[in-house]
Amino acid sequence: MNWITALARPEIQALQPYQHASWEPGLVRLHANELPWRAPLDASAAGLNRYPEPHPRALAARLATLYGLEAASVLPCRGSDEAIDLLTRAYCRDGRDAVLITPPTFGMYSLAARIQGATVIEVQLRRETGFSLELSALLAALTPAVRLVYLCSPNNPTGNAFDRATLLELARALSGRALLVVDEAYVEFSGEPSLSAELGAHPGVVVLRTLSKAYALAGARCGVLLAHPDIVALLQRVIPPYAITQLSIEAVFRTLQADNLALVRERMRALSRERERLAAELARRPGVLRVWPSAANFLLVEFADAGLALARAHAAGLLVRDLRRAPGLGEALRISVGIREENDRLLASLS
């Protein structure tokens, strides 16, 4: 057995997949206890009275084309949140295994681990180094219990992308010991290539992508796990059948039509321009101490009094993210880049 699957919980390695109703779209479905009529006003293409494809192969194939991989390396999930949940449940034994994370970072890695009863080892990203990766600190914190090392690049909430050469060095160092899970939820905003091009050379690397951000489909809940086919096959035993709703499948296909993809690229450029304008304007506002450079669609901003800035934004009808309790950030807020008028309203509220 390959080390990338031998690391998984023995129960998952031995698990027999659920035998779902067979998927033969050309035939009349009298095998899944569905209602033969559509619900009133059901405008979906396939009919919501029918179950969607249990493990949607056409969707995986479409996403594989989008990301330039084989379909066997692609697992569509209910958001990348579900991918994190699946990895944790498949790889971490309650009370024995651990995940390694680098706070301040996205909260779901540690939440999923705690729900599973896994230990969370933290290696703090430091302000002084611009929240960059410190390889020696990561390797020093690694124990034999660690199954998953999560890195978010660009990182939420600090906005910086990690150095590719350092990520690959880490992948080499982790080979045979733990999976390196690189969450690229915001990579489209960075203009940098995905690490998924390296999956062939690094079977222990798992890349998480999502349609929630650049593709404007947060409400459709579609994330994508990209990994060696053996990891995908293992997780396919854990993901429930019919995880992706028919509405989501149809929304993804519509969104990924060629003319829409051109719009996505144009929006990425527009968003970067607006991000830079907002960053420059924020830096001129009284009480703003620092605006961190961002490769994502949000800004990490430090204030003299973040509570006051939060209250002013709220009074102007705007929600921004309070990070005062995030480790190592102090008086900081995370601000998503909106459309120009929204950003101007925020700027006015802070003037």
- Does 80 interact with ligand PLP (rule: CB under 6 A)? yes
Stretch of residues binding ligand PLP (CB under 6 A), selected from 30-38, 76-84, 89-97, 309-317: 76-84
Stretch of residues binding ligand PLP (CB under 6 A), selected from 14-22, 74-82, 130-138, 329-337: 74-82
Query: CB-wise, 212 or 246, nearer to ligand PLP?
Result: 212
Distance, CA of 150 to CA of 61 (rounded, Å): 26
Distance, CA of 37 to CA of 174 (rounded, Å): 53
Minimum distance from CB of 157 to ligand PLP (Å)?
A: 8
Query: CB-wise, 156 or 160, nearer to ligand PLP?
Result: 156
- Does 106 interact with ligand PLP (rule: CB under 6 A)? yes
- Does 218 interact with ligand PLP (rule: CB under 6 A)? yes
Question: Any residues with CB less than 8 A from the CB of 183 and at least 6 apart, and which?
Answer: 80, 84, 106, 109, 150, 151, 152, 153, 208
Question: Any residues with CB less than 8 A from the CB of 226 and at least 6 apart, and which?
Answer: 67, 69, 73, 74, 75, 196, 199, 206, 207, 208, 209
Minimum distance from CB of 14 to ligand PLP (Å)?
A: 29
Stretch of residues binding ligand PLP (CB under 6 A), selected from 23-31, 115-123, 136-144, 210-218: 210-218
Distance, CA of 200 to CA of 205 (rounded, Å): 9
Query: H or E element: which one contains 236?
Result: helix 229-236
Residues 204 and 195 sit within 8 Å (Cβ to Cβ): no
Minimum distance from CB of 263 to ligand PLP (Å)?
A: 20
Cα Rg of the chain, angstroms:
22
In the window 288-317, what residues touch ligand PLP (CB under 6 A)? Answer: none
Minimum distance from CB of 90 to ligand PLP (Å)?
A: 17
Minimum distance from CB of 221 to ligand PLP (Å)?
A: 7
Q: Residue 227 corresponds to which tokens in the numbers above?
A: 């990994």
Relative to beta strand 223-226, strand 205-210 is antiparallel
Minimum distance from CB of 185 to ligand PLP (Å)?
A: 4
327: how many CB neighbours lie within 10 A of its CB?
11
Q: Residue 29 corresponds to which tokens in the numbers above?
A: 């479905």
Among 160, 212, 246, 297, interactor with ligand PLP by CB under 6 A: 212
- Does 188 interact with ligand PLP (rule: CB under 6 A)? no
Query: CB-wise, 220 or 282, nearer to ligand PLP?
Result: 220
Distance, CA of 281 to CA of 89 (rounded, Å): 44
Q: Residue 16 corresponds to which tokens in the numbers above?
A: 């027999």
Which residue minimizes CB distance to ligand PLP?
Answer: 79
Question: Any residues with CB less than 8 A from the CB of 161 and at least 6 apart, and which?
Answer: 153, 154, 155, 187, 190, 192, 295
Among 180, 223, 300, 332, interactor with ligand PLP by CB under 6 A: 223
Minimum distance from CB of 294 to ligand PLP (Å)?
A: 13
- 130-169 mask for ligand PLP (x: CB under 6 A)? ----------------------x---x-------------
- Does 183 interact with ligand PLP (rule: CB under 6 A)? yes
Query: CB-wise, 92 or 187, nearer to ligand PLP?
Result: 187
DSSP 8-state class, residue 29: -
Which residues are at the interface with ligand PLP (CB under 6 A)?
Answer: 79-81, 106, 152, 156, 183, 185, 210, 212, 218, 223
